[in-house]
Amino acid sequence: LTFDAENRYLLEKLMAIDISVNFCGIKSPNPFWLASGPTTQFSWQLCRAFECGWGGAVSKTFGIRTKNVSPRYLATNLRYKERFSSISNIELISQESQEKNISELYKVKKVYPKNPLFASLMVENTKKTWQEVVKKVQDVGIDGIELNLSCPHGMPERGLGATIGQDPQLTRITCEWVKEVATVPVFAKLTPNVTDITKIAIAAKNGGADGISLINTVSCIAGVDLDTLKPLPTVGGFSTYGGYSGTGIKPIALGMVTKIAKSASLNLPISGMGGISCWQDAVKFILLGATNVQICTAVMEDGFEIIKDLKDGISKWMEEKGYNSIEDFRGKSLEFIKPLSELDTTYRVIAKIDSQKCIRCKRCFLACTNSGNGAVEFSQQEGAKVIREKCTGCGLCAIVCPLSDCITLLPISRVGKR
């Protein structure tokens, strides 16, 4: 093949890959949606996002008027990086009126009719108020409704948000009221701040919900100023519980998505979110059962433009793996999750340290001496060495090592039940 022919061949192969998703009769050009938040408040934002290539979006939650405080975001940094990885926010739902929000959605649907747009709603928890707002948003042609049953700060003080999503009865009845008048799919957005997420998801399904969105933010206090002793962010001298989002919550979100996807009685589309910042994260959510994914914090930090890498990355990975559509790999990792009691106790790994690569930092030696089985020996001449007989294969040495390829965990032959 000439260089041009080879490029054309690769391009054609990539173009044959279909990353669209289709659920509840809604078609989205790709699985990447903007999650409800500060990036989905105004029509100009949503239009710009669709112009950049986002598949769909969920509007900033609206329904009752609020007044925000300032400041309302606090970043927590990755240990070795300048960029933030996660944030705590004390932002409320939209400050604007229902009418203003609905007219914003109308404008977006006019310009981008093919990109699915959900209205995220939260109103006083009565049948009348829910049904009124549902009818109004449907009139402007939105494609679906996401019920915010999950905001963990501010709104619960008014009996809304997570107060509903922490109570199976309230969750079911709210979904029922909405479904009585809904002509578009209704997703219940759930809070991770519960003991058993599946109970709440089942309640939403019993109330008629067509899908589950999860997770909203994790309730937190993200910091304290050591000079003033005031928790952060400090608003005129005081602070409050915030909602934690971004990469720090990804394992919680993946765990909860898995629980919902594995729950035999549920079988509903899942809109997964929580800490997604790259295409690899998104693939993990889909492998664990999500139908599409939503992103908020990563877009706040890096802008709508990240969509290009998300789409390119997933397409190239699918091409390499031989998948032609998202459905080809959705839920594929679920069969590998079992109760711990069913994992094989005869399977063992052992650490191997490459003495040529060891930089004599001693981190593995200290970790194994302080928290492990004392299985790492250290000398300046020879570096770190594993005492095979003592190594229990926990993997701590490999994760504290600053190098990515110095310590490997090698499977050893079965060692007999312990």
Ligand X SMILES: Cc1cc2nc3c(=O)[nH]c(=O)nc-3n(C[C@H](O)[C@H](O)[C@H](O)COP(=O)(O)O)c2cc1C
Residues carrying an active site annotation: 151
Gap between the Cα atoms of 32 and 50, Å rounded:
11
The DSSP output letter for 333 is: T
- HSE-up (13 A, CA, CB side) for residue 294: 31
Closest to ligand X by CB, 93 or 386: 93
Q: Which residues, 105 to 134, sit near ligand X by CB under 6 A?
A: 120
Q: Which residues, 142 to 201, sit near ligand X by CB under 6 A?
A: 148, 151, 189
| Beta-carbon count within 10 A of 113 CB | 11
The DSSP output letter for 68 is: -
Segment near ligand X (CB under 6 A); pick from 75-83, 178-186, 242-250, 348-356: 242-250
Minimal distance in Å, beta carbon 373 to ligand X? 37
Q: Quick one: which of 212, 220, 224 has its CA closest to 185?
A: 212
Closest to ligand X by CB, 157 or 328: 157
Q: Any idea of the CA torsion for 162, 164, 169, 174, to the nearest 10 degrees?
A: -140
**How far from the centroid of its chain's Cα atoms is residue 110's Cα?**
29
Closest to ligand X by CB, 184 or 295: 295
Residue 174, token pair as written in the block: 């709210």
Closest to ligand X by CB, 68 or 169: 68
Closest to ligand X by CB, 175 or 249: 249
Out of 216, 263, 271, 291, the only residue in the binding site for ligand X (CB under 6 A) is 216
Amino acid at 398: A
Out of 43, 61, 291, 315, the only residue in the binding site for ligand X (CB under 6 A) is 61
Q: In what order do the strands lie in the sheet with 242-246?
A: 73-77, 84-89, 242-246, 218-220
Instruction: Kindly state whether residue 255 participates in binding ligand X, applying the rule CB under 6 A.
Output: no
Asked whether 136 and 165 are in contact (CB, 8 A), the reply is: no
Gap between the Cα atoms of 324 and 17, Å rounded:
5
Out of 28, 30, 36, 171, the only residue in the binding site for ligand X (CB under 6 A) is 36
> First CA to last CA across the chain, in angstroms?
57
Interface with ligand X (CB under 6 A), residue total: 27
Segment near ligand X (CB under 6 A); pick from 8-16, 75-83, 258-266, 270-278: 270-278
Out of 246, 269, 272, 289, the only residue in the binding site for ligand X (CB under 6 A) is 246
Segment near ligand X (CB under 6 A); pick from 25-33, 85-93, 198-206, 356-364: 85-93
Gap between the Cα atoms of 16 and 7, Å rounded:
14
Out of 22, 38, 76, 302, the only residue in the binding site for ligand X (CB under 6 A) is 38
Instruction: Kindly state whether residue 383 participates in binding ligand X, applying the rule CB under 6 A.
Output: no
The binding track of 308-337 with respect to ligand X, each residue x by CB under 6 A or -, is ------------------------------
Minimal distance in Å, beta carbon 213 to ligand X? 8
Q: Quick one: which of 292, 293, 288, 271 has its CA closest to 335?
A: 288
**How far from the centroid of its chain's Cα atoms is residue 387's Cα?**
40
Residues that bind ligand X (CB under 6 A): 35-38, 60-61, 87, 89, 91, 93, 120, 148, 151, 189, 216-217, 245-246, 249, 273-276, 295-298
